[in-house]
Amino acid sequence: RLRALNRLQVILQHLKMSKQTDSTTEVLLEKKGGAGIITLNRPKALNALNLSMIQQIYPQIKTWEQDPETFLIIIKGTGGKAFCAGGDIRAITEAGKVGDKLTQDFFIGEYRLNNAIGTCKKPYVALIDGITMGGGVGVSVHGHFRVATEKTVFAMPETAIGLFPDVGGGYFLPRLSGKIGYYLALTGCRLKGRDVLKVGIATHFVESEKLPALEKDLIALKSPSKEKIADLLNSYHMKCTIDQEKEFVLDEHMEKINSLFSANSMEEIVKKLKQDGSPFAMKQLETINKMSPTSLKLTLRQLREGASMSLQEVLQMEYRLSQACMKGHDFYEGVRAVLIDKDQSPKWKPAALEEVSDEFVDNCFKPLGKDDLKL
């Protein structure tokens, strides 16, 4: 009887341990050769980032950065569907409803991680195979190398959920050629495969099934410099012929995108789209009309200001905006409509662009004093 009880205790102890290790295996951090490897490991959640993952990755990057035996950092996702589909929006929504500190802690942690990647002294290689959106863009786009595949799907879809393209979107989007970054930010347009390279989000394009071999070769590099890593990535890139002949999906629309999205206000962009009247313009108008008017106004200003800021200044500005969104209405309503009830019909407040005052927008950008993001 006693032995049975003991055995039960051992089993329970094991279960308890496996439960604990489960939460820590949401992200795998390992050293192979001279490479530090970060594996996002929540395949069922499309590797969405939660706070505990962020809190494990950040110090590890800082440690590897200082370690003379670590020559490069690789980040990838598991499950074959996604690199990382974003941040754990549901958890943030739940927290926001009850006034939990997670609505601050998550964004502080995430933006500090984005900055650590943007300033990392060691070459940082993101294998963005599969869905790469929102927070997934934040942990890849600021690094030195981003390797897309035929499975990559990129988007910054935040205006559809009452948010804005954060994680440094205000830095990298306005720096893409022409006004394409503004277009991607406001419409949430999705780019696939080689188009992610052509727009400048990815630096290289490699066949998905070649990634394990590429990773092996990266790990095998002897004391790799940034140049050696670039050479290796280039050699894989040159050998990849998938969709080589295909034109950039937005090629024929670039002139329109550059003129229509160069307006100084959202109202003006809408007016230009209406005046243009082409099927392309009408389709964009239809998309923009579904987005949160507040988000659209915040986003346009975020990108216009971010165009001349450093990454650190952008992340500070975005933290202010994130806290304004947490206090507002549209974020919770957007998450409800898109992710929870999935009825796809959010009731935005205010419901029209004209009702979002400049004064309101100005307030969202105001410094938070001692609560500002410290990087």
| Residues with catalytic roles | 87, 135, 158, 166
Query: Which are the contacts of 187, defined by CB distance < 8 A and separation ≥ 6?
Result: 159, 284, 287, 288, 291
Residue 328: left if φ>0, alpha if ψ -120 to 50, beta else—which one?
Answer: beta
Measured distance CA(334)–CA(158) in Å, rounded = 9
Residue 270 near residue 330 (C-beta atoms within 8 A): no
Helix (H/G/I), strand (E/B), else coil: 175: coil
Residues 6+ apart with CB under 8 A from 203: 144, 145, 146, 147, 197, 233
- Lookup result for tokens 């990773």: 215
Gap between the Cα atoms of 111 and 138, Å rounded: 8
Q: Which letter does DSSP use for residue 223 in this model? A: S
CA distance 325 to 321: 6
What is the spatial order of strands in the sheet that 131-133 belongs to? 82-84, 131-133, 153-155, 191-192
